[in-house]
Amino acid sequence: MKANFDVTPHLEDLWRYGRVLTHNDADADDLVQEALARALSLARGYDASRPLLPWLITIVRNTFLTGITRANAEKRRLAAYAVLSDPLLLPSQEHSVELSNVRKALAALPTEQAEVLHLVGVMGFTYSDAAEVIGVPTGTVMSRLSRARNTLRDNMDRSIDHASAHLRVVGGRLDGTR
């Protein structure tokens, strides 16, 4: 098997994962840069027979857990909730509404659930790969994933109810009666 050592094509995946952890574009950029610097110092220990992306993802995660970006991310996370409740952000098209809802629902997930959902559901990691990255047993990955799915579904349902409530106000009275 020929090893693939191309890092640049993985930058977007690393940034997206960093964004799941930090909830912020700029913090995700900083995290990826810090992680790449760390990866340079760890490159000698990389097992070239294994895929590169999980190795890089693990470094991004460890960098986040030990770095200052984590503290900043918590502050940003609080700010993100303000965005979630902003009714002016209601999109106009049905598809956009769906995407907007899923983004909001994802942003409201606890980080440990969002992370495992991202690794398995978005990036396509196997349970065992995700377990190795996170450093937990496969069973824990599965239970977090299950909770994440339930929370995401509940968040999306609430988001749809919220949007419906706003729609009812239009053309009617504030108590919803005509």
Partner 1 sequence: MEPGNSISEDEINRFLDGELSPSQRSDVQARLALDPRLAANVFAEAQRMEALRSAQPQRLFPPRASVNGAKQLEGVFQRRKVVMALRMPVAAILLVGLGWAANSVTEPLRQGGRTVDQNFILAAREALRVAQLDAGPQQGGGELKQDKIERLVGALNISMPPLPSSWQVTDVQVQPWNERQSLVVTANTPSLGRITLVAAPMNGEDAVPPTSATDGRIPTVYWQSGGTAYALMGPAAPERLEVEAKGIEVATRRKLGSKIRG
* 136 contacts partner 1 (rule: CB under 8 A): no
For the record, the structure tokens of 10 come out as: 């993985």
CB of residue 170 vs partner 1: minimum separation in angstroms? Answer: 25
Cβ contact 161:154 at 8 Å:
no
Q: Tell me how many degrees the CA angle 78-83-86 measures, rounded to the nearest 5.
A: 135
Residues between 92 and 111 with contacts to partner 1, criterion CB under 8 A: 98-99, 102-103, 106
Residues between 152 and 171 with contacts to partner 1, criterion CB under 8 A: 152-153, 156
CA–CA distance from 116 to each of 12, 97, 120, 135 (Å)?
18, 24, 6, 12
Give 25 or 86: the residue with its C-beta nearer to partner 1.
25
* 54 contacts partner 1 (rule: CB under 8 A): no
CA–CA distance from 114 to each of 8, 22, 103, 149 (Å)?
24, 11, 11, 9
| C-alpha to C-alpha distance for 106 and 23, rounded to whole angstroms | 10
For the record, the structure tokens of 122 come out as: 């978005």
- Determine the interface stretch with partner 1 among 39-47, 69-77, 84-92, 163-171 (rule: CB under 8 A): 39-47
* 121 contacts partner 1 (rule: CB under 8 A): yes
CB of residue 171 vs partner 1: minimum separation in angstroms? Answer: 29
- Judged by CB under 8 A, the number of residues near partner 1 is 42
Give 96 or 172: the residue with its C-beta nearer to partner 1.
96
Which of 21, 57, 60, 120 is the binder for partner 1 (CB under 8 A)?
Answer: 120
Which residues, other chains included, contact 125 with Cβ-Cβ below 8 Å and sequence gap of 6+? 54, 119, 133
CA–CA distance from 130 to each of 53, 60, 72, 165, 168 (Å)?
11, 13, 25, 38, 43
Q: What residue ranges bind partner 1 (CB under 8 A)?
A: 3, 5-8, 10-12, 15-16, 19, 25, 29, 32-33, 36-37, 39-40, 43-44, 46, 48, 98-99, 102-103, 106, 117, 120-122, 124, 126-127, 142, 145-146, 149, 152-153, 156
